Structure 1
Amino acid sequence: MNNRKLEFSMTLMVCVICAIGFGLIAVLVGNAKIQNFDHTIISVIQGIEAPRLTTIMKFFTMIGNGIPIAIITFVVMIVLYTFLGHRRELIFLVCVVIGSALLNTLLKLIFQRARPDINRIAEAHGYSFPSGHSMAAFTLYGVIAFLVWKHVPTTIGRVTIIILSSLFITFIGVSRIYLGVHYPSDILGGYLMSACWLTGSIWVYQRYLERSERTRSTH
């Protein structure tokens, strides 16, 4: 019971910290007081522009688009169902990814921030804050890391999963700044909101598994 209370407290603390961080960024965005931060980061990232790097960044932004995200999600679903036989994990994955997308759509409609027009290398439509790519990447690769982690027995394997998922999340976010379609605050806000959503979702899922195990043990 004490471990469960501690876990709940830690989960709540992470969610609150991420929510407060997102709220602060949202206030600064609304008051246009984050422009210096945004333009400084944009100048640094776009200052290293090069043809080969642009190709790399376009690749990372591509795999953060809706269709590639859907394909990756579907492939992971097949693996979970076919090789591991975990239907509950499959349902959890779908709910978390779809929930993140719906949350992002709602937040964009609330804030309605226009996209930057500084050195636009790629085209993008819709509102800017929070970044849909950063939320989708953090949610998808975060939940994949969580689900795969449970089935990897070695420390090296688990560390590799964390490193790979972190790299994908980071590069997808940076690619949006590099290509000129998002402000850095859009990316950071997307990460924070997605972290809040994913942390809360994982906690709820873990509690569901515990209740299911207790129910089976009593029958």
Structure 2
Amino acid sequence: MASRRLVRAKRIFEGRHALGVAVGACGVAFGLGALIRYSFLQAVDLSVTRLLQREEWPPLDTAMVGFTNAGDPIVVPVLGGVAALALQQMALPRAARLVLMSLGSVPANIVMKNFWDRARPDRKLVNVAVETAGTSFPSGHTMGATALYGSLAALAWIHMDPRTIRLPLTLILVAIPIGVGISRVYLGAHWLSDVVAGYALGLFVLVPVVRHYLKGIPAEVEKEAATKGAPHETTGEVAAALGPTITNGPLALNPSPS
């Protein structure tokens, strides 16, 4: 039942642990930023890149390029805008705003890169398979993908039915940013520490925006879902909060409160 998944998400993201994760992730990113000039971190970064690039396999090269394209700083805003527009048309305005808020990771990454001003991997040290421009820390592809696809994964997990569609779609959306980060190191566009910082800062963006989204869920929804043996129908303020169920073929998407 969608309302029960809403309640679970509300309890997770509105708790202290969620804020702790967000703050801790930010601390990880800034901690790595403070260490990027040190030789021991540079040695770790170089070792990991060379390990990933040790074996050449054309199908893997193709897959890595596909992942890196999914996190492109042009693709992410465009895809996010299209997703937000689609959600708005489906009478899901809060979900649309969640997706748009997650795109704040893109300009935030530009600011971070200018602040840390780290050089890209050197062609003399590793194989650089894709053309890159600008500075390296943190990875913009990874940060943007974590925030955008993470927000879409949250929406899919909370609202989408049936389970046979919801679970695979959520896993795919979670897997995309993981693949994006790995691809950036594999293709020689970033160091491992750039990617880890990208994940951390993407999470730092994702947690607050999902938390803000869930703030619109009234207490009545939580009370109804927590009641054992409660009927599946939602009534009164709960129905008004959840909105109508939208069915499109085999999918049923339960809207968030507007």
Query: Would you say same fold, with TM above 0.5?
Result: yes
Q: Which residue of 2 aligns with 1:95?
A: 101
CA distance in 2, matches of 1:81, 1:127: 35
Q: Which residue of 1 aligns with 2:118?
A: 113
Ranges in structure 2 where 5+ consecutive residues have no aligned partner: 1-9, 222-235, 238-258
Change (3 A) 1:72 1:200: same
Ranges in structure 1 where 5+ consecutive residues have no aligned partner: none
Deviations 1:183-206 (A, max 9, x none): 011001000111112112221232
Q: Which residue of 2 aligns with 1:27?
A: 34
- Greater Cα offset, 163-172 or 48-57: 48-57
Q: Which residue of 2 aligns with 1:175?
A: 183
2:157/2:167 contact within 8 Å kept: no
Q: Which residue of 2 aligns with 1:138?
A: 146
CA distance in 2, matches of 1:6, 1:195: 12
Deviation at 1:4, TM superposition (A): 6.6
Q: Identify, as 1 or 2, the structure richer in helix.
A: 1
Q: Which residue of 1 aligns with 2:224?
A: none
Structural mapping, 1:63-212, within 5 Å? 63-82=70-89, 84-97=90-103, 99-117=104-122, 118-210=126-218
Identical-residue share of aligned pairs (%): 30
- Which structure has the larger Rg over C-alpha atoms? 2
Amino acid of the structure 2 residue aligned with 1:180: G
Please, what TM-score do these two structures have when normalized by structure 2? 0.73
CA distance in 2, matches of 1:33, 1:171: 26
Aligned counterpart in structure 2 of residue 44 of structure 1, from 38, 47, 51: 51
Please, what TM-score do these two structures have when normalized by structure 1? 0.85
CA distance in 2, matches of 1:67, 1:157: 28
**Number of residue pairs matched?**
210
Amino acid of the structure 2 residue aligned with 1:66: P
Deviation at 1:79, TM superposition (A): 2.7
Amino acid of the structure 1 residue aligned with 2:120: R
* Residue aligned with 1:116, SS: coil
2:73/2:140 contact within 8 Å kept: no
